[in-house]
Structure 1
């Protein structure tokens, strides 16, 4: 890899450092076509400008290669196994496990649908030293509509993803009322299912929920159903309509991935999973634990001193936006003074700088840094190819529980996001977004 001289680096794009690169005509034409396609499909992110893509347009897809593909497949199967084991332990009444999963969940929304298991989820993955590390598991996830748009833009098939939705008979998408910005993306999902399978899918908000026995995709955490009145919550819980994922609230908390590291639960979980799967999870999930409600000064002192190696994540807050996306994630490797203020706020049950967030609980996790990549993209103003050097990577693989006999789960696809001015690798004007290419070995090995 060529060493890039500091004087070559440009800063005219907000929150982006980039360098010029050779203008290969074919790659430039490919990027221009991708940009035009994304605009034509009205791809949006938040309140982005509809006249241009909501992120920087990559020159090409990101190739996983067979090794990383297989690691992601094994990881998805292991997370399915963890979800099932945790759900079984919850159903058996394990008090320590219930205490972790029940944080912020009203009693009437706890322990629902325990006889059914999770069917679809997305992981947020950082690739560190060539190995995938899970930073989050999302069971109410975006990006499905984006995958349709990215297929049109780059030619990377998203067919397995939409086939998985079709096989489940999804006829509705029920959305969280507080996130209308996802409506246009979910309408892309509905359009794709109509085009490919003749399946009509209505995109509606839970506030308009009605039960007519159809199958719906639940685009809302179970815990966040607390925003609706008691009558509506009761109607949702008792409905004949089959919701995917089922209404077990434990899938939707950041505390879930900390459970294999809980010393009091580790042996019980390992007994359900088997040692190989447990070892895989502990190698892939950064060590983490729920922050105590009333930590003592010794505990806080150790956390403050170890800031360069830690990250705090909001598990629950009275302002739900801190539990979605990256707003509720706080890194300890910046200013020591800022980290100390963050730790103090977390210990007091607040979000730093946001007193309106009220009572807040946190997860403490080891910090994992991404490998770095040089990524070509289209400059939105000059219309020239550029390179974002030393960009951090986040992968968002989407999985389905495989419904065919003899298989565990299916890696359906996903996209890669690159950022080089922040640890928070998430979509926005400063990020490059592109689909990833799955490359499977001819004879995959067992988990």
Structure 2
């Protein structure tokens, strides 16, 4: 197919693409504990049907131990052509507080050319990118195709990593497309070349056998909450830079948005300064970041006058691609033990780690996808990093060092993934689908 024929096929298929994305987003496929299993399995079944509709001769669900099934599809390569692995995930984050949504999270709604709904961007847009790009070829694919769509990436995604380690031939390919990223802004194409890894844990502080009256004991009895607060704030200096020994600053080779653009995207309030020093690209994509993501303490409503005996916090560490997650975990927990005041009892639990990723030198797949993105968007893509983690990518990079791994997608920094009012811009989705189809055609012709 010519580029013009591919563009026309994608454009003609967009009504069906939007209809299918609507069906996917309607399903509350939250794969977190405590949520119903049936919708997740329903999303797997629909994903299977969609991949069949894309012309793949072999499509099936594959059990993943301790997780929801992955949906797998495959088509053999034409003689002499390379094989491309396409990855996405069909599970989504919980909706959170539905009162903060302007439209119901699982009733996809199109407003001003964007579809709103949980998972519309992350990552059901990735599922539809692959389906719609493959449909453009009507079953005559220019490369070998392998598709794997995961069912529990948002929670405990490392289970697919174990599956890949045990079944490497199932996903072996010359190029691997991870459609779970996006662009800085709508209409500005980008390739993600760096992912931060992550580590997370729960820290608990105990000081007393039980809470005691603050009037009778306050001033001498050690307060677990005060101790924990001192420990947590000790991890950053007055500028907001991480000061845990061993967590060195890094340098990112590309540029990020301006500070004003970042403030607008992040919703930073007027008069509130950003934290940290150095360039935004260095802070966001090449350096460590520590965030307290949860606290177990008495709520303000119903609080009683008591010195607290126990307090807990959930801490997440984002790790540059050059760092090691387990080492960083040890550095942070060791530092918290060191700065703990008053001899309080400190314990750690619920550890999670995931490695980062740094793309290698440019190869034929990278060149083809850059040209495809430039044609689809009308401007050359730029190189960006991503602060989030995709557990599978580091495993693929380690297991298949010769494969080129390409990260892009229809998400953008305004898509509100993991937040209320998540949305995907439908024109952005069309451009990404077009780019993927153009990439497959050029990559197949050039090898």
TM-score w.r.t. structure 1 length?
0.24
Larger Rg: 2
TM-score w.r.t. structure 2 length?
0.24
